Amino acid sequence: MNFRKLTYLTLLLLTIYSCSNKNSEKIQISGAFALYPMMVKWAEEFKHENPGVKIDISGGGAGKGMTDVLSGMVDIGMISREIHDEEIKKGAYAFTVARDAVVATMNTQNPEWSEMKKKGLSSEKASKIWNAEYKTWGEIFNNTNQNPLNVYTRSDACGAGETWAAWMGEKQEDLKGRGVFGDPGIASAVQKDVNGIGYNNIAYAYDIKTMKPQENLGIIPIDINKNGNLEGDEDFYKDLGSMIQAISNHKYPSPPARNLYLVTKNKPTNPVVIKFIEFILTKGQSYTAENGFIKISPETAKEELKKLN
C-alpha cells in the first residue's frame, strides 16, 4: 500500500471514529411538558460539567415521549404518569427522578373565585365538571349564576390529563371539554377566559420567579375531607413553596400528586446517557425545589441508581 492510500485510509478511519464519538456524546430527549422545565435545568447544569455533550430536548406530552423512546427516535422519554404493563413488555425501563402534582385552575376574575377558595373542589364535583354534567357556574355552588362553565382539557396524550382523571376515578379519554394542546396552552386558555376552568402541572400554574400563581390563574383548592369547606390544614396554595411542602408531606392527595419518570428502551448502555441519569439522581436533585419540583427521597435515589449497574 502506497503512502497516499495509507494517508487516505487513516483520515477515513479518523473521520468514522470522530463521527461515532460525536454521536455518543449527544442525547435526544422528548416527552412530558411536566418535566420539560426541570429537564432544561438538568441539561444546562450537566453541560457545565460536560461541555462536549449536546442535549436536544422537546416537549409534546408523555405519550409522545413513550412512543419516541420505544421506537428508538430518542434516547430518553420524559413521562409524567405511571408506566403501563404493555410498555414495560416493549422494553420501557423507567427511573423515578422527581415528584410534582396536577392542580385545577380557574380565572381569578370569575365572580365565583372567592367562593371556590372558601369551599374547594371535591373529586365528585370535579367529575361532574369534566363529564359535562354541570353547564353553568351556578350549578357547582347551587346558586343562580348562569354564566357558562367553559371546561378545558388536554388534547394530547399526557400525564397531566391521565393523573387528573385518575383522581376522579376516570381515564383521560373520558374527560370532556375544549381540547387544548400542552400545558402552556391550557394555562393561557383559562387566563383569557373569565368562565374557564382547567388543570395544569404546578410548574405551569405558578410563576417560578415570584413563586406565586400565574397572573389571572387561580389554583383551585381540593376539599380533601369533602365537608364543603376548606379548612386550615387544607389551605396550602398561596405560593409554590407551600404547595411543594404539602406534596412532600403527603397533605396533597396522590393522585393528583405523582412521580415523574425518565424512560429508556431497555437498560441504558450508552455511557453518556448513563452518566446523565446518574447526575439527575444525585447532584441534579438539588435543583428541584427552585424549579417547582419535589426531589425524590435518598432511599428512592439509591434504588434508582441500582438500575444503572
- The pLDDT mean for the chain works out to 92
- Provide the pLDDT confidence category of residue 24 given band limits of 50, 70 and 90: low
* % the chain with pLDDT above 70: 92
- Provide the pLDDT confidence category of residue 5 given band limits of 50, 70 and 90: very low
pLDDT at 172: 93
- Residue 118 and residue 44 share a domain: no
Provide mean pLDDT across the span 179-202: 96
Asked whether residue 173 carries a pLDDT value surpassing 50, the answer given is yes
- Residue 215 and residue 278 share a domain: no
- Residue 122 and residue 73 share a domain: no
The answer to the question of residue 21 being in a domain is no
The answer to the question of residue 1 being in a domain is no
pLDDT at 19: 40
- Residue 181 and residue 68 share a domain: no
- Residue 117 and residue 78 share a domain: no
- Residue 145 and residue 243 share a domain: yes
Structurally, the chain folds into a number of domains equal to 2
Asked whether residue 9 carries a pLDDT value surpassing 90, the answer given is no
H-helix segments, the chain: 3-24, 36-49, 62-71, 85-89, 113-119, 123-130, 137-141, 159-167, 183-192, 202-205, 240-248, 271-281, 298-306
Asked whether residue 7 carries a pLDDT value surpassing 80, the answer given is no
Provide mean pLDDT across the span 50-56: 96
Provide mean pLDDT across the span 114-121: 96
* pLDDT tens profile 243-277: 999 999 999 999 999 999 999 999 999 999 999 99
Query: Of 226, 248, 270, which residue is a domain's last?
Result: 248
- Residue 189 and residue 163 share a domain: yes
* 113 CB-near residues (< 8 Å, 6+ apart): 106, 107, 218
* pLDDT tens profile 146-172: 999 999 999 988 999 999 999 999 999
Written as nine digits, the cell of 205 is 400554574
Provide mean pLDDT across the span 124-144: 96
Provide mean pLDDT across the span 176-202: 97
Asked whether residue 13 carries a pLDDT value surpassing 50, the answer given is no
Q: Residue 147 sits in a domain of what CATH number?
A: 3.40.190.10
- Residue 170 and residue 215 share a domain: yes
Query: Of 206, 224, 248, which residue is a domain's last?
Result: 248
Provide mean pLDDT across the span 304-308: 97
The answer to the question of residue 254 being in a domain is no
- Residue 60 and residue 70 share a domain: yes
- Provide the pLDDT confidence category of residue 309 given band limits of 50, 70 and 90: confident
* pLDDT tens profile 59-109: 999 999 999 999 999 999 999 999 999 999 999 999 999 999 999 999 999
CB distance 61 to 156 below 8 Å? yes
- Residue 233 and residue 109 share a domain: yes
Asked whether residue 112 carries a pLDDT value surpassing 90, the answer given is yes
- Provide the pLDDT confidence category of residue 39 given band limits of 50, 70 and 90: very high
Provide mean pLDDT across the span 113-142: 96
Provide mean pLDDT across the span 17-25: 47
The answer to the question of residue 7 being in a domain is no
Asked whether residue 20 carries a pLDDT value surpassing 60, the answer given is no
The answer to the question of residue 34 being in a domain is yes
- Residue 146 and residue 228 share a domain: yes
Q: Which residue segment(s) compose the domain that 113 sits in?
A: 101-248
What's the pTM value of the predicted model, to 2 decimals?
A: 0.85
The owner of cell 452518566 is: 275
The answer to the question of residue 53 being in a domain is yes
pLDDT at 69: 98
- Residue 118 and residue 91 share a domain: no
Q: Which helix (H) or strand (E) holds 113?
A: helix 113-119
Query: Of 224, 248, 272, which residue is a domain's last?
Result: 248
**Rounded distance between C-alpha atoms, residue 232 and residue 15, angstroms:** 66
Return the closest-CA partner of residue 205 out of 223, 188, 227, 181. Answer: 188
The answer to the question of residue 6 being in a domain is no
The owner of cell 430518542 is: 74
